Amino acid sequence: MRLVMLAVPFSAHAALPEVISQIKPSIVGVGTYQKLATPRASLSGTGFAIGDGSLIATNSHVVPTTIATNKNTTFVVFVGTGKAPDIRTAHVVARDAEHDLAILKISGQPLPALRLSSHQAREGEIYSFTGFPIGAILGLYPVTHRGMISSITPIAIPARTAKELSVSRLKHLKNPFFVYQLDATAYPGNSGSPVYSQNNGEVIAIINKVLVKNTKENALAQPSAITYAVPVSHLSRLLKARP
C-alpha cells in the first residue's frame, strides 16, 4: 500500500466550516507597502499558497508591471488575519497574461499549500471561494462566498459595435478559452481568490473578474452576482513551466 500526503490534510468529506478553517491560513492579500505613505499598505487582490508553500498564485492583473522604487514602494503579500498581518516581500516567478495568472515567490517560512484539483468541473456543481472582496479597510479578514457553476463559457465578450473592436479583442474572439461562470457575488478584491471544493478544499479555479453594471463603482453598490473564474488547469501548466 502506498500512502500519499496532501498539502492540506482534509478529511474525505469534511464539513464546509472545517474546510474553510483549513483553507484560510493559505489565503494572502497581494499588494504594495510604502513606509512613508498613509495608509502604508495597499491591497490590490487575493492570492493563495501552492507548490512548496513559498509560491503564491494570483491574477496577472493584480501584480503591477512596475513598482515605484523611487517612492520606497515594495511589492508584498500580507499573511495572517487582523490589523497587523505579517508582511512578506514577493517577486514574480511566472506570468501568463493571456489567462490572467501569475505565480509569486515570497520570503519567510512557507505557508500551507492548497492542492490543485484534476477534477473536470461541471455545470450545476457548487463551490466556495475565499478572499478579500473589499480589501483590508478594517484589517485582513478573509471572506468566503459560494456559488454554482452556471455556465462554462468562452471568456471573450463580443463587441457591441465596430468601434469596440481592436486587434487584441479580435484575437480573443477568434481563439477564446473557456472559463467558469458562477452565480456568486464577488468584488474587485476577490481577484486571485481560489475557487475550491466544499468537500475537500481542492482548488478548481481562480476568480478573475466580475460582470460590472455600467461603471466600476456599481461593482460595490449594485453587484451583478455574475463572476468568472479561470480553470485551474492553466495554473497547473504555468506552475510546471516556470523556470
Strand (E) positions, the chain? 27-34, 41-50, 55-58, 73-79, 86-96, 101-106, 126-131, 143-154, 178-182, 194-197, 203-210, 227-231
Per-residue pLDDT, averaged over 127-153, amounts to 89
Grid cell digits, residue 22: 483549513
- Binned at pLDDT 50, 70 and 90, residue 167 comes out as low
Residue 107 is predicted with a pLDDT of 95
- Binned at pLDDT 50, 70 and 90, residue 42 comes out as confident
Residue 170 is predicted with a pLDDT of 52
Residue 31 is predicted with a pLDDT of 93
Grid cell digits, residue 143: 471572506
- Binned at pLDDT 50, 70 and 90, residue 173 comes out as low
The least confident of 20-34, 53-67, 68-82, 180-194 is: 68-82
pLDDT at 227 over 50: yes
Looking at residue 243, what DSSP letter applies? Answer: -
Per-residue pLDDT, averaged over 216-229, amounts to 60
Helix (H/G/I), strand (E/B), else coil: 44: strand
Sign of CA dihedral 233, 101, 214, 185: positive
The letter for the amino acid at 119 is: H
Residue 51 is predicted with a pLDDT of 96
Distance, in Å, from the CA atom of 59 to the CA atom of 208, rounded to the nearest integer, reads 6
End-to-end CA, the chain: 34
Per-residue pLDDT, averaged over 230-242, amounts to 95
Distance, in Å, from the CA atom of 16 to the CA atom of 132, rounded to the nearest integer, reads 19
Per-residue pLDDT, averaged over 34-45, amounts to 83
pLDDT at 229 over 80: yes
- Binned at pLDDT 50, 70 and 90, residue 158 comes out as very low
Distance, in Å, from the CA atom of 48 to the CA atom of 228, rounded to the nearest integer, reads 17
Taking all residues of the chain, what is their mean pLDDT, rounded to a whole number?
83
Helix residue ranges per DSSP H, the chain = 16-23, 167-174, 218-221, 232-241
- How much of the chain exceeds pLDDT 70, in percent? 77
Please report the DSSP string for 198-233 in residue order. Answer: TTT--EEEEEEEE--SSSTTHHHHS--S-EEEEEHH
Distance, in Å, from the CA atom of 95 to the CA atom of 202, rounded to the nearest integer, reads 22
Distance, in Å, from the CA atom of 174 to the CA atom of 53, rounded to the nearest integer, reads 37
- Binned at pLDDT 50, 70 and 90, residue 4 comes out as very low
